Structure 1
Amino acid sequence: MKHNQDDRRDNVDKIQDNISNTIQNIHLAEEMIEKTDDEKNREELIEKNERREEALNSMRKEIKEEAIDKKNEYR
């Protein structure tokens, strides 16, 4: 069985798209938090946004590493 070679050339772009989408979801959730009267729903959205913030930190770290690797031509 032949394995596909690891093609990382577009990883930075993919991670940046994920970061942008996550930020958009945070903003949408914040709007919903302000509008909802349902305390349980509000708490769930707050917890989700906390997890999203953690994910953003990880993605930002990963994009820096990928950008360095791309600059070094993945050596």
Structure 2
Amino acid sequence: MEEIVKKFQSKFREVREEMNKWNELQSCLISQFRNASHIVERLQVLQNSNNYGVLNCVSGTRDALLEKQFESFRNILVSMRKTL
């Protein structure tokens, strides 16, 4: 009987560790997805040149900002793939 209890406890620990691992991965993916969503929202704002005000005088500002956001978005997607 004692052996059965030990075996059960061992399996229970394994399952608990696995569930903790999945919870951590899920939290990480949710955070990454949230960050990616924020970038998509910003891209919509950054594409409108009316939002730049006096910065429209500086050539390449809009394109540089968009490129940086795309780069960040790509990095997040790579991180998500690694997490999976």
Q: TM-score, normalized by length of structure 2?
A: 0.58
* Equivalent residue runs for 1:11-50 within 5 Å: 11-31=28-48, 33=49, 35=50, 38-40=56-58, 43-50=60-67
The one of the two structures with greater contact order (alpha-carbon pairs below 8 A, sep at least 6) is: 1
| Secondary structure of 1:8's aligned partner | helix
Judging by fraction of residues, say which structure has more helix: 2
Q: Gaps (5+ residues) in structure 2?
A: 1-22
Matched, 1:62 2:47: no
Deviation for aligned residue 1:29:
0.6
Question: Which structure's CA Rg is the greater one?
Answer: 2
CA deviation map 1:5-56 (0-9, x unaligned): xx8330000000000001111110102x2x367231x622220110111111
- Identity, % of aligned pairs? 7
Structure 1 segments, 4+ long, off by >4 Å, are none
Q: Gaps (5+ residues) in structure 1?
A: 1-6, 68-75
Aligned residues: 58
Q: Aligned Cα RMSD in Å?
A: 2.1
> What amino acid does structure 1 have at the position aligned with 2:81?
K
